[in-house]
Structures are given as structure tokens and as C-alpha cells.
Amino acid sequence: MPRAYFAERAPKPYRVLAYDLTLDYRVGPNRLAGTAVIACSTPAPLDRLVLDLGTFRISKVLVDGRPARFTHRSEELRISPARPVQGEFSIEVRYAGNPKPVPSHFGGLGWDQLTDGSFVASQPTGAPSWFPCDDRPGAKARFRISVTTGAGYDVLATGELASRRRSGASTTWVYEQDAPMAPYLASVQIGRYSSTRLPGTVPQTVHHPSHLAEEVLRDFARQDRMVAAFSAYFGPYPFPSYTVVVTDDDLEIPVEAQGMATFGANHLDGRNERLIAHELAHNWFGNSLTIGSWRDIWLHEGFACYAEWLWWEACGEGTADEHARRWRERLARRPLEYALADPGERRIFDDAVYKRGALTLHALRLLLGDEDFFALLRGWTAAHRHGVVTTAAFIDHAAAFANRSLTPFFDAWLRSRALPTL
């Protein structure tokens, strides 16, 4: 059965500060051996600790360097330290096995195999498929990810490449992510890739099979302009660089990670620029600003969808208003069975969440005017840079730009099933 993950998941009584993951992966047998050192903090003494972890064999658990008793079932690792912990402490977990996606309402999530390599698609609950963690979107922490694999493979992981060292038939790649990151946004992509550097003030690299070089140059030709446009709309790009991976396999949908996006070979068809814009926008809305509860998913997907419309507007290929009114007509034909602010766990990726979320933003733009609306967005990303956000916080933030209560406006768009007019 899928693990409970929606708003009912209570926060853990301790906070994860950082993950240090040392992984050894063999592509052919799909074999992963890992050591996770997790830095934590708690204000009150604790004699029980719980982490989320998939179906691995655990050889040892240490808490502050001391062996600890543990049980592991139903994707929960329950730990009893040798003595209660308080203040800052560390958990070390040594584990091994064949990583596989964890079940969910949306299919298998997390570490998965490619024809020749592997990739990670964890949203919303797949992080435990490859490392022990506090798997909640608002539980952000720093990451160091070290991966050793065959020397013929490239490893792309979230963060900045800190080192790469070959030893015999293996190469070890080390990535560091200093900006706090939700576990579901951590990613490792392994394959045989060529690299294409894109222009722009933000370093942008596409890693791809060599035979797709021409398609990459065509489909990502305007990504540097997207970065510039979104930086003007939303504020400075929030990470040191942006990495795109194109797998040689087809993927159902592009995969979001922090400072990274993964596309399948099937997405390079010359007609998917909106997907490129959508995934890029998630670096502001989803990666830098991350929701604390999945019920607020419109703060990710509605904003990224609206970024698509803004991109077409910036290119002179239809205004955002034209896109909004076209989508409102479509949504009006299909009654909404839920409130946007609380869609229910099975509907968090429903297309109406994306499009009605974008419509909400466009309605707010019409209400405030362009100058105040874009000032609002830039202020929102600046105030919560690398933080955790909620719908309530966004409503309060918007009210400051309207100089009046916007409760009736947001009640109509977020809490009512009826579709307001523009």
C-alpha cells in the first residue's frame, strides 16, 4: 500500500540539518550500497527516532557513533539510540540492496533503471527508494552526494560538482548542494552522456546522448532567453547553475529536481518548449520556495504553468491573457470536484490544479495591474528564498500589495469549486 504522505503526516520531533550520502552503484546488477550520515537537531531529549527508507538490507545503525537498536518495516526505520539525544546529533545508516521505486497513487516513484543507467524521479514520495530521510516537502536540508560507479558512466546529481576521481574501473563523483533542499528534489542521473554548454549569464549545461546533439541545440536554443525573462519577472535565478539531462530512453513526463530537470528522448521533438519553460520555472517555485504541505501544490504547479504563458507573452506568441481566457473556457466545461487549496492526495497533479492555479495568478494580475503584480512576485521569491511557503503566507503577502483584504478574492479562486470570471 502507498505510504501516507499528505497533510496528515506529522512533523518529526527532530530536524534534519544535512545529509552526507556515500553511494556505490553497479549499473548491470542494479546494486546500491550506501552509507548515509544525517546531521540532526532536537530541542528535547529523544529516545526514539524514525526515518523513511525503502526495502534495503541494513547492516548497521549508529547514533553519535554508538551502535543503536533498530527495526525496519513498512518503509520505516525505527531507531532506539543507546542513550537519549538532545541538541545536535548524527545518525549513520549503512544499507545495501537493489533500489526500486516505492509504490504510490501515481505509480512507482524514486530510483529506477534505464536501458543503460539509472535515474531518480521522486516527487512526491520517492526519496526513500535510495536513501534514509525525513520525506516531507518542507523538511529541507543541505546535501552532499558521493556516487561511485563504472568509469564509462557519467553521474549527474543535484548540487555543484565538487570533485571527480577515477580509480581503476570506477569513478567517484561528489556533488554538494548548499541551498536547503527537500528530499524529493534530490536526484542522481547515471548514463553515457555528452555535454552541451548553453549561453547565458547563468551557467547552463545539457547532458545528452551524443546522437541527440542536434535536437538539443534546436529545442533548448531559447533557454538562455527564458532564464533572462524569468529573472526579470520573478527575481534572480536562485541557484549557481542549471543542469538539464536528456535520457536515451523515453519518459512519460519531464522530471523536476533542484537546479536540475530531466527529459526523455521523446520530449525532443521541436514542440515541447512549454515543458522547458515549466521545468525551469520550478527553480523559483518548488525548489527555492518549497511548500510545507502537498495540499498547497498550486504554489508550485500553478506558478510554473503561468510561467509558460508569460514565456509565450515575452516571445510575442500570444498574451498571457489570451491563454488564460482560452483555458478558463475549457475548465468551465468540466465542473471542479475539489477546492484548489485542498485537492486531496490523489489529485495533487490533476491538470486543473495547474491551470486553475495559473488562472488564479492571472486574475490577481488583472486585479493589481502589472507593476504591482510583478513586484509582488519578486518580493515573494526574495522574502522566502530557499524557504518553506504556504497558501496563507502568499495571501498575506498579496494583501500588502493590494492595500486591502484579498480574502474574498482568494476564497473564490482557491476555496470555492465554482470557477470565477476573469
Report the amino acid identity of residue 33: A
- Does residue 7 fall inside a structural domain? no
- Does residue 184 fall inside a structural domain? yes
d(C-alpha 73, C-alpha 238), whole Å: 38
User: Phi-psi bin for 403: left (phi > 0), alpha (psi -120 to 50), beta?
Assistant: left
H/E element holding 49?
A: strand 49-52
Is residue 183 reached through a cis peptide bond, with omega within 30 degrees of 0 on the bond before it? no
pLDDT at residue 399, as a whole number: 94
pLDDT at residue 7, as a whole number: 45
- Does residue 421 fall inside a structural domain? no
**404 — pLDDT class (breaks 50, 70, 90):** confident
Q: Answer yes or no: do 161 and 258 share one domain.
A: no
More confident residue, 112 or 335: 112
Give the dihedral sign, CA 319/322/325/328.
negative
With a cut of 70, say whether residue 406 has pLDDT above it: yes
Torsion angle (degrees, nearest 10) of CA 377, 134, 150, 167: 100
pLDDT at residue 5, as a whole number: 46
Q: Answer yes or no: do 63 and 78 share one domain.
A: yes
96: which 3 cell numbers?
A: 545495501
Alpha-helix residue ranges (DSSP H) falling in 283-332: 298-314, 320-332
Q: Answer yes or no: do 39 and 165 share one domain.
A: yes
> What CATH number is given to the structural domain containing 391?
1.10.390.10
Give the mean model confidence (pLDDT) for residues 162-188: 98
d(C-alpha 390, C-alpha 87), whole Å: 28
**393 — pLDDT class (breaks 50, 70, 90):** very high
- Does residue 80 fall inside a structural domain? yes
With a cut of 50, say whether residue 376 has pLDDT above it: yes
> What CATH number is given to the structural domain containing 164?
2.60.40.1730
Q: What percent of the chain has pLDDT over 90?
A: 95
Q: Answer yes or no: do 367 and 253 share one domain.
A: no
Alpha-helix residue ranges (DSSP H) falling in 104-246: 213-219, 223-234
**Each residue's pLDDT tens digit, 42-81:** 999 999 999 999 999 999 999 999 999 999 998 999 999 9
Residues paired with residue 169 on neighbouring β-strands, in sequence order: none
Question: Average per-residue pLDDT in the chain?
Answer: 96
Q: Answer yes or no: do 226 and 119 share one domain.
A: no
Query: Can you give the residue range of the structural domain that contains 349?
Result: 291-415
On whether the CB atoms of residues 209 and 248 are closer than 8 A, the answer is yes
Q: Answer yes or no: do 272 and 152 share one domain.
A: no
pLDDT at residue 2, as a whole number: 45
Q: Answer yes or no: do 185 and 228 share one domain.
A: no
Q: Are strands 204-208 and 66-67 parallel, antiparallel or unpaired?
A: unpaired
Q: Answer yes or no: do 79 and 142 share one domain.
A: yes
CA distances from 367 to 309, 322, 370, 403 (A): 18, 16, 9, 12
Closest CA to 422 of 369, 362, 378: 362
**Each residue's pLDDT tens digit, 267-312:** 999 999 999 999 999 999 999 999 999 999 999 999 999 999 999 9
Structural domains counted in the chain: 3
pLDDT at residue 1, as a whole number: 37
Q: Answer yes or no: do 262 and 383 share one domain.
A: no
d(C-alpha 398, C-alpha 380), whole Å: 9
Q: State the SS3 of 62-118.
A: EECCEECEEEEECCEEEEECCCCEEEEEEEEEEEEECCCCECCCCCCEEEEEECCEE
Q: Answer yes or no: do 142 and 184 share one domain.
A: yes
Q: Answer yes or no: do 379 and 252 share one domain.
A: no
d(C-alpha 92, C-alpha 37), whole Å: 4
With a cut of 60, say whether residue 113 has pLDDT above it: yes
Q: Answer yes or no: do 161 and 231 share one domain.
A: no
**Half-sphere exposure in the Cβ direction for 230 (13 Å, CA):** 30
On whether the CB atoms of residues 80 and 69 are closer than 8 A, the answer is yes
pLDDT at residue 10, as a whole number: 73
pLDDT at residue 9, as a whole number: 63
